[in-house]
Amino acid sequence: MKLSFSTLGCPRWNFGEVVSISKDLGFNGIEIRGLGSEMFAPRISEFSPENREKTLKRLADLGLEIPILTSGATLADPDKEKAQAAFVEACAYINLANALGVPYIRVMGTGKPQKSEGNFELGAKLYYALCEYGELFNVTPLIETNGDLSSSDEILKFLDAAGAKNCGVLWDVHHTVVFGEEKPDYTAEKLGKLIKHVHIKDSKVNDGVITYCMMGKGSIPVIDAINELKKLDYKGFISLEWVKRWQPDLQEPGIVFAHYKTYMDRNM
């Protein structure tokens, strides 16, 4: 297994800082979810046609990968126009992933971590079309265990309705535990080899209020999830999703990322 962190956790860092700190801390890769004030990856300067070669060479020289481009596309948005716009967004991410040699992009159902109303019939159709499009470019769109799809049974139902071959799951451990109310062994057994990328974070929940904390300081059974991934012989990335972009008062990324790397090295 390999380790990365999402750039969601370091919204004030530029690309040079992201790369340098990732290398200094011994990470294997960087998950792209916005950079600075730009959330739409195809508009990030370092990924523009004129800068891609230089960017890719820099990453290769440092032994770093981009395992996934994490879009904000919500294919089951109850607003059909927004769902269609999300499909277009996801296609742009596939195009960029192909240009960068990145194997996966992330898409979601509704985008809200808690269960919420969504048009999952339309979402499944759009996901099928997206998977077909991605196959042309050697890119697999991963649907995240998020919102109504935090349940393994529900995400399997969604994938069955979509009927796509070029598919996979981004297992967000926090979501399946807190919102899906599943233990990691159940999720891992249900999803198995469909799991292509993993998000992880820790938290405490008091009176329904989620408070995020550094790895191992909360109630999420992180080590259980790691052990289940070992049983699956999972070779992909486990990526820390520290949501500082959405919650600026959270601990600074340099401290959190260093702690995460140490904690994971000790328990993987």
Domain ranges of the chain: 2-267
Give tens-digit pLDDT for 101-137.
999 999 999 987 777 788 999 999 999 999 999 999 9
> Following CA atoms 267, 249, 64, 99 in sequence, which dihedral angle do they give, to the nearest 10 degrees?
130
The whole-number pLDDT of residue 205 equals 85
The whole-number pLDDT of residue 115 equals 76
The whole-number pLDDT of residue 20 equals 97
Give tens-digit pLDDT for 124-181.
999 999 999 999 999 999 999 999 999 999 999 999 999 999 999 999 999 999 999 9
Determine if the pTM surpasses 0.75: yes
**Mean pLDDT of the chain, nearest integer:** 96
Least confident residue range of 6-20, 30-44, 100-114, 169-183? 100-114
According to DSSP, the residues that pair with 104 across neighbouring strands are 68, 140
Domain 2-267 in CATH 3.20.20.150? The answer is yes
**In the structure encoding, which two tokens stand for residue 96, read together?**
């960029």
207 pLDDT higher than 90: no
Percent of the chain with pLDDT over 70: 100
According to DSSP, the residues that pair with 55 across neighbouring strands are none
Q: What is the 3-state secondary structure (H, E, C) of 48-65?
A: CCCCHHHHHHHHHHCCCE
**In the structure encoding, which two tokens stand for residue 148, read together?**
């109504």
